[in-house]
Amino acid sequence: MTGSQITPIYCATQVNKSANYLAVIEPAQFSSTPVRPNTLLNTLIALLLGLSAAVGLIFLLDFLDDNIRTPANLVELVGVPALGTIGRLAGAGPSEKLLVNQDSFSQTSESYRLIRSKLQFMLTEGPRSFLITSPLAEQGRSTTAANLAVVMAQAGFNTIIVDADLRHPMQHRIFQIPNEGGLGQLLRYPDLKPSSYLKKNAQIPNLRILNSGTLPPTTTQALGGGLPPSPSELLGSQRMSQLLTDLSELADVVILDSPPARTVADAVVLSNKVDGVILVLETAHSKREDVRDAVANLQQANAHLVGAVFNHIPGNRLRLPFARRLTVGSRRVDAHRTEQPAIQLKS
């Protein structure tokens, strides 16, 4: 109430001489809008707080995430470019994940062909050898090496794949051939010729496989003494360099499957004996520290790190915008661009 409204009440009280006299100056008005709670304001405040918390949580999880998830992460971390991304291959066993047992029109098959094209035009002079490694085990390294060898052979290149993992060999399981004789015997006995240990694959005419074989014991070990041979010492030997030279004379492309580069020295000692090293990473499971250490080990050996392959990419994240399918009669064919191979084929 205002001062002018209070005055009449006071005067009337004085006139009637009654302390209980009240006069209604203005009746109270009912408001249709509640004073509290202010629903609109509270909703806006809750929305802003929820949005702020969500954004903060996203930044916190990103800060705490130590995995390499995208090619941009890899370039930012170690400056290594991505050669391509590979989806998950169907199949339970190692041999079922070979490309010859997959749909040739799938995105994954096309991804391998794209990586092959990049390798062809990246290294253009003479026979080429590539070492396939990864920071840790179980990241799809052996399968990637086998399928790269397959697509190289399918393109007409005379290809040899070497299982240089003397600790946990896989290529004989992937190609389903006996692991009887191979790189181990060739490293132990210098008089042996690599051509006698190369095995052919009936499904892929241009591809030959050199298994890891076994490491025969030395004379001292056969007599019950001495230590077993060290794979890293054998792979870093002059004999291994000579074997790679001999294999390069027998093929257009030589691909080596090696152990992880962070945990053992095998890949490191081999890395400077080949023309290029390819790092295989499993998406969302390759820790930054592991990748950084593996790359540092390879760089200290003066390895030529040509790029990385991201493995096990979900299918909805694969993008092949310039590859498509065409139907010719009842047959489907790829409509990707073909180029003249840059690697020179041996006559």
pLDDT, tens digit (0-9, with 9 covering 90-100), for 61-80? 766 666 777 778 888 888 88
pTM of the model: 0.73
On whether the CB atoms of residues 318 and 87 are closer than 8 A, the answer is yes
pLDDT at 346: 60
**CATH-assigned architecture of domain 69-217+229-334:** 3-Layer(aba) Sandwich (3.40)
Chain segment 253-289, per-residue pLDDT in tens: 999 999 999 989 999 999 999 999 999 998 777 888 8
Domain boundaries in the chain? 1-30, 69-217+229-334
**Residue that wins the pLDDT comparison between 29 and 65:** 29
> Which residue bears the tokens 């992460």?
73
pLDDT surpassing 70 at residue 333: no
pLDDT at 323: 40
